[in-house]
Structure 1
Amino acid sequence: MGATLYTHPSGTGTSFRVWAPNASQVYVSGLFNGWYGTSAPLASEGNGNWSLDVRNLGHGAHYRYVLDTVNGQEWKNDPRAKDITNSIGDSIVHDPSLFPWSGSFSTPNWNEMVIYEMHIGTFYDNPGSAVGTFDRAIQKLDYLADLGINVIELMPICEFPGDYSWGYNYAHPFTVESSYGGVWGLKNFIQEAHDRGIAVLIDVLYNHWGPNDLDMWRFDGWGLSTYGGIYFYNDWRAVTAWGDTRPDYGRGEVRQYIRDNALYWLEECRADGLRWDSTVNIRTQNNGFGGDLPDGWSLMQWVNNEIDWFQGWKISIAEDLWSNEWITKDTGVGGAGFDSQWDSDFVHPVRNEIVIPDDNNRNMYALRDAIYHYYNGDAFQRVIYTESHDEVANGRSRVPEEIWPGNAGSWYSKKRSTLGGVLVMTSPGIPMIFQGQELLEDEYFRDDDPLDWNKLNLYGGIHDMYRDLIRLRRNWYNNTRGLKGQGVNVHHVNNNDKVIAFHRWDQGGGGDDVIVVVNLRDRSYNSYNLGFPHGGTWRVRFNSDWNGYDSSFGNHPSWDVQANSGTKDGMPYNGNLSIGPYTAVILSQ
């Protein structure tokens, strides 16, 4: 389907094939025939598909379909176009063999991933200039590699109206936003990321499309009432918060379209995984409050099975936010088959407890439950974070800004927001940060407001703290392997003094067992007694109160701990720790 280049003994050209079951005739038009609408008719295959081979037509040719419909003659872009001039422009024939891929790349294991959510349009750009591009973002890949990031999750990059958008209104699901650099820009970005050991995930939109500049809308002229025709439901099931454009998951051709789209990003574009936006609006009609859509559930199962079969080493992540363990259960037992899902049972309690201004009102048991939360007994079936594009917009701000509105650079904001970062990097799950979080970015997310990279100089120490945390999370120094493991035991919860401690491990033993201690009260403790799983010396690997992270930090001396025999917190050994106010300490042997 779409425009496919061919080579025959008789010559080369482009084969056009399109689904338009209600059109009485379909033509293809372009520069090759002077944009004469009816000189190149496609032949009906008798099953709703139309096809034509055009000789001597190759890469870069502009074209559109012309359809004879009940509403008259209509010009439409190819729903499967791989390249386009802009959202209301022309489709472009694309030859994927021309991109010079090089080298090989292995997607990180789930337990090794550290994700950086990125919006290409605002990641690296100058205020008042044109929108950010893939080429501009490439200039910061070395920075991200040094930070320790090994996975970039791109917010939607498909063609949308205009140049500025979050991306969740895309009109052409197989094309890449032209203002970002198009499909060539995307492939180059992925190649450059892979060259630096960084995987790339793509945020895909299957709960709705458009609603503007949507050539698929009544593509062949047909549609019931006010609904959108062959690609969409034509009844109450079409209705979403973003327009009446929910795809018809029960129609074979639409299911195939979505399946092919998912595999396109993974196969031809060599992305390393997908993040599915709002899967609750694929499986239900109204964000979880309306009727179930069984066809949507079976679609997710089928596409995930196809990904597992053809690209099984790549990850499929759901944003469902209903704490539904069936999202990440295997399809063989009735689950949707996702590998992981964004975890609302982590982000909301953690943000709440670090934002609350009064220490006495913090609920350390809520933090305990957030740390413990698993899906199906697997720590890495959840993605954990304190900031994402949704959590720092839609009436909410960045965590430092929420801690002290108008004073995000305050001591309190720096201390407590970074405790959220500690919990993200040390709790069980796949950790994720949002672009600029490591710079103490304070602005709520907008598609026309780029990151302020001057903050890297202003808050370079905060950046260094995130770098150190990420390196510990990835066990760069071979002494914190437990942070990549399944094991967790929240063995100490002191709701009066606002201290929580937990043990992380993979196989256990030296270089593996990790103890994380978090003090969420504005006071220090000089001899705080805690349980430890083993005796001997526990080395301080990280102290968030170090004044190298910020000159206003107190540099409270958190010395190595000697654990001696004596039961404490259900553990056989105990030791005394010194810890500063609003501080986290990470120890291992």
Structure 2
Amino acid sequence: MNFEVWVPEKTVKLLIAGEERAMERGDDGWWRLSADAAPGTDYAYVLPDAPSPLPDPRSPWQPEGVHGPSRVYDHSAFEWTDQAWTGRQLPGSVLYELHIGTFTPAGTFDAAIEKLDHLVELGVDLVELLPVNAFNGEYNWGYDGVCWYAPHEPYGGPDGLKRFVDAAHARGLGVVLDVVYNHFGPSGAYAPMFAPYLSKHGSNPWGDSINLDGPLSDEVRRYIADNVLMWLRDYHVDGLRLDAVHALTDHSAINLLEQLAVEVESLSAHVGRPLSLIAESDLNDPKLITPREAGGFGLNAQWDDDVHHALHTLLTGERQGYYGDFGSLDCLQTVLEGAYFHANTWSSFRQRRHGRPVNRSSVPGHRFVAFLQNHDQIGNRAVGDRLSALLSPGLLKVGATLLLTAPFTPMLFMGEEWAASSPWQFFTSHPEPELAAAVRNGRRSEFASHGWASDDVPDPQDPATFERSKLDWNEPGKPGHAEILDLYKRLIALRHSRSDLSDPWLDKVEVWHGDQFVVIRRGGTVVAANLAPVAQTVSLRSTPSKVLLATEQGVVLQRDRVELPPESAVIVAAR
């Protein structure tokens, strides 16, 4: 086997079979050595300034955790059964976000496979996994990863992830993987000891910035790009969600995101299936998803927090923090018709103008991933409470209807489809006492400034916080939960069956509203929602021919209007 490691400014030796072996340095700063090493062989690298041998920065397998040795892994040895898989494109799809550790009681890839049939019956198309690359400790959200090339061993390691992807493909489900390239986690981040992976010019809220445009940054960019290609090629993943790309500092003429889009497009042509890159960004800048031919970066989609904020504030009445500008029906109309609420407009939270308008006739709605709930918007609340803890069943149904009939790519968060009662809280398992205390105290201090008593904020390090966040799979069939699950199934099926509801063009969306109702017309399909606690008669501005779906009984169609029960929604076919 050929061992290779990039160490441009110091010497390095390979430790294998208990023996330190000299390596040969190339002019490119890469050290190489050919050695007999079968799959399953442990190895590490010895640096002159490191107190102990270190894992490979590109380690494919860390069976003893991020501080242990790396292990040789043969990607070609896995027996895939998805040869007939032709992929799943993002346009027209419904995403489902889940965390492997809390999706099932066992918290493993193999246990998650057992629940894939539930997702098939639900009707979703793409399963989005929160980060699974190796991090220190047994469990956390996944955003503290340090071994970017190695799937987390407690979840099932490399073969476990491949089994999950293979099983998903067998059921017609695509897989999107959340990846983090804006920082390394706080424990076990040894890559910067090998080479200048970190920038000398600043940090972001989660750690030191990655060196994307400084000296020797070409190889750092290659480190990221090769990781992207590995997940898509070697693990057969169908797309990646790029975490917080606004925290990637890159002043290069060719931005890293554009570079990734080019390379992924080439790989897609090679493997013969669609591959998607989805950015998380708070910049409200459509340049990310504008095609390269038009001067953009050419990513396939981006998360749209403004849609979430508009829906959440309208339904819950919350207005604190960054929710301050949201909450009106005018706001909802703006995001449904134009994707962003802040589009070069004043943001009171930021105290400046924010965002850039979307060209409604050239940027399709499917390039915006919209959601009522996600891991951040639940887990970053003090007690991790879901919408099911905040809203009446009627308003839960109204929210689901508005999301799944909007002109965007909808995404559900695990358990949302049955109004799960379990919270999803912020949990960590840092073994270092100092780091554990810092996380615990930081969390409590953060929410103390918002008026929360420290005892009310769950301890991230308490195993009970993690256990509380696991889904209860006894709930979907119980009263109250089963009704919500049935609605989600019907909404997704209707979205898939009505071409009007999958039409991505924002300039075809027409929205009007009163004080407590909103109507959305998309071609021959009209959605009317009553947010009031009393019945309302709502103008449809067209003649309804039949009810396609109603969230409550008692809907009455009239000549050009509909009578809606309290806190209800209806979808009608209209002339």
Shorter-chain TM-score category? Answer: 0.7 to 0.9
Q: CA deviation at 1:137?
A: 0.3
Is it true that 1:276 corresponds to 2:233 in the alignment?
no
Q: Looking at CA atoms only, which structure, 1 or 2, has the larger radius of gyration?
A: 1
Instruction: Report the Cα distance in structure 2 between the residues aligned to 1:174 and 1:77, rounded to whole angstroms.
Output: 11
- Which residue of 153, 162, 175 corresponds with 1:187? 162
Post-superposition CA distance 1:22-57 (Å, at most 9, x none): 223x222223xxx12x2x2211123211111113x2
State the alpha-carbon separation in 2 of the partners of residues 492 and 378 from structure 1. 17
Structure 2, unaligned runs of 5 or more: 320-325, 340-357, 428-465
> Which residue of the partner structure matches residue 304 of structure 1?
261
Distance in structure 1 (CA, Å) of the matches to 2:254 and 2:403: 30
Structure 1 counterpart SS, 2:88: coil
1:286-331 per-residue CA deviation (whole Å, 9 max, x = no partner) reads xxxxxxx313971111111111121252111000022111111123
Q: 2:337 aligns with which of 352, 368, 372?
A: 372
1:457 partner letter: G
| Amino acid in the other structure paired with 2:53 | W
Q: Which amino acid aligns with 2:549?
A: F
Q: Which residue of 2 aligns with 1:452?
A: 472
Partner of 1:322: 283
Any conservation in 2 of the 1:516–1:586 contact (CA below 8 Å)?
A: yes
Partner of 2:518: 500
Cα distance in 1 for partners of 2:367, 2:305 equals 13
1:23 aligns with 2:10: yes
2:569 corresponds to which letter in structure 1?
A
Q: What's the offset of the Cα at 1:393?
A: 1.8
- 1:77 paired to 2:48: no
1:471 maps to 493
Q: Shift of residue 494 of structure 1? A: 3.3
Q: Which residue of 2 aligns with 1:253?
A: 219
1:577 aligns with 2:562: yes
**2:22 paired with 1:41:** yes
Structure 2 vs 1, CA of residues 99 and 249 (structure 1 numbering), >3 Å: closer, same or farther? Answer: farther
Question: Given that residues 278 and 301 in structure 2 are in contact (C-alpha distance below 8 angstroms), is that contact kept between their aligned partners in structure 1?
Answer: yes
Q: Deviations over 1:211-261 (max 9, x none)?
A: 211121322xxxxxxxxx51111x233x12122253444411111111100
Structure 1 CA distance for aligned equivalents of residues 185 and 66 of structure 2:
11
Question: CA offset at residue 487 of structure 1?
Answer: 4.3
The equivalent of 1:52 in structure 2 is 33
> 1:310/1:294 Cα in 2 relative to 1: closer, same or farther (>3 Å)?
same
SS in 2 for 1:274: strand
Shift of 1:357: 8.3
Going from structure 1 to structure 2, the CA distance change for 1:249 and 1:457 (only over 3 Å counts) comes to: farther
Matched, 1:514 2:525: yes
Q: CA deviation at 1:423?
A: 1.2
1:499 Cα deviation from its structure 2 partner:
1.6
Aligned match of 1:348: 309
What is the alpha-carbon distance in structure 2 between the residues aligned to residue 206 and residue 357 of structure 1? Answer: 32
Q: 1:394 is matched with which residue: 357, 375, 380?
A: 380
- Matching residue within 168, 174, 198 for 1:199: 174
Which residue is equivalent to 1:484? 502
1:362 to 1:168, Cα distance in 2 relative to 1, 3 A: closer
SS in 1 for 2:3: strand
Secondary structure, in 3 states, of the residue corresponding to 2:232? helix
Q: Which of 541, 544, 547 is equivalent to 1:531?
A: 541
1:213–1:491 Cα change, 3 Å: closer
Task: Give 1:523's aligned amino acid.
Answer: V
Amino acid at match of 1:118: L
Q: Choose the corresponding residue for 2:551, options 541, 544, 556.
A: 544
| Matched AA of 1:200 | V
Displacement of 1:72:
6.1
**Is 2:474 the counterpart of 1:462?**
no
- For 2:85 and 2:529, locate their aligned partners in 1 and report how far apart those are by CA, in whole Å: 37
Q: Tell me, what secondary structure is at the counterpart of 2:476?
A: helix
C-alpha distance in structure 1 between counterparts of 2:253 and 2:540, whole Å: 49
Match of 2:456 in 1: none
What's the CA shift string for 1:93-117, capped at 9, x where partnerless? Answer: 1111111112322233322210000
Give distance in 1, aligned partners of 2:327 and 2:190. 51
How far the C-alpha of 1:528 sits from its partner, in A, is: 3.7
Q: 2:338 & 2:538 partners in 1: Cα distance?
A: 27
Residue of structure 2 in register with 1:236 after alignment: 201
Using the alignment, how far apart are the partners of 1:588 and 1:72 within structure 2?
68
Deviates more, 1:157-166 or 1:100-109: 100-109
Match of 1:426 in 2: 405
- 1:115 is matched with 95
Change (3 A) 1:162 1:485: same
Residue 134 of structure 1 pairs with residue 134 of structure 2: no
Question: Is the CA contact (8 Å cut-off) linking 1:350 and 1:370 kept in structure 2?
Answer: no
Which sections of structure 1, spanning at least 5 residues, go unmatched? 1-13, 126-130, 220-228, 284-292, 404-411, 506-512, 546-554, 564-574
> What TM-score, normalized to structure 2?
0.82
Query: Matched residues in 2 for 1:262 and 1:72: separation?
Result: 29
Deviation by residue 1:320-368 (Cα, 9 ceiling, x = unmatched): 022111111123443222111001221101110011289xx96221211
Percent identity, aligned pairs only?
29
- Partner Cα separation in structure 1 for residue 50 and residue 176 of structure 2: 41
Q: Distance in 2 between matches of 1:111 and 1:88?
A: 41
Structure number with higher relative contact order (C-alpha < 8 Å, ≥ 6 residues apart): 2
**Given that residues 540 and 588 in structure 1 are in contact (C-alpha distance below 8 angstroms), is that contact kept between their aligned partners in structure 2?**
yes
Work out the CA distance in 2 between the residues paired with 1:588 and 1:461: 23
1:339 alignment partner AA = N
1:439 pairs with 404, 418, 423, which one? 418
Amino acid at match of 2:565: G
How has the CA–CA distance of structure 1 residues 207 and 483 changed in structure 2, closer, same or farther, with 3 Å as cutoff? same
Q: Provide the rounded CA distance (Å) in 2 between the counterparts of 1:541 and 1:432.
A: 22
CA change 1:158–1:51 in 2 (3 A) is same
State the distance in 2 between where 1:421 and 1:269 align. Answer: 33
Alpha-carbon distance between aligned partners in 2 of 1:494 and 1:242, rounded to the nearest angstrom: 41
For the residue of structure 2 that corresponds to 1:502, the secondary structure is strand
> Are 2:161 and 1:150 equivalent residues in the alignment?
no
Q: Which letter maps to 1:518?
A: A
CA contact (8 A) 2:89 2:276 kept: no
Say if 1:300 and 1:362 are closer, same or farther in 2 by CA, change over 3 A: closer
Does the CA contact (< 8 Å) of 1:399 and 1:417 recur in 2? Answer: no
The CA distance in 1 between the partners of 2:315 and 2:253, in whole Å, is 37
CA distance in 2, matches of 1:483, 1:263: 33
Change (3 A) 1:260 1:437: same
Find the aligned partners of 2:514 and 2:254 in 1 and give their Cα distance.
Answer: 42
Q: Secondary structure at the match of 2:541?
A: strand
- The count of corresponding residues between Structure 1 and Structure 2 is 494
Q: Which moved more, 1:271-280 or 1:240-249?
A: 240-249
User: Aligned partners of 1:323 and 1:362: how far apart in 2?
Assistant: 18
Alpha-carbon spacing, 1:51–1:73, altered in 2? closer, same or farther (3 Å)? farther
Separation in 1, partners of 2:8, 2:474: 55
For 1:73 and 1:494, locate their aligned partners in 2 and report how far apart those are by CA, in whole Å. Answer: 66
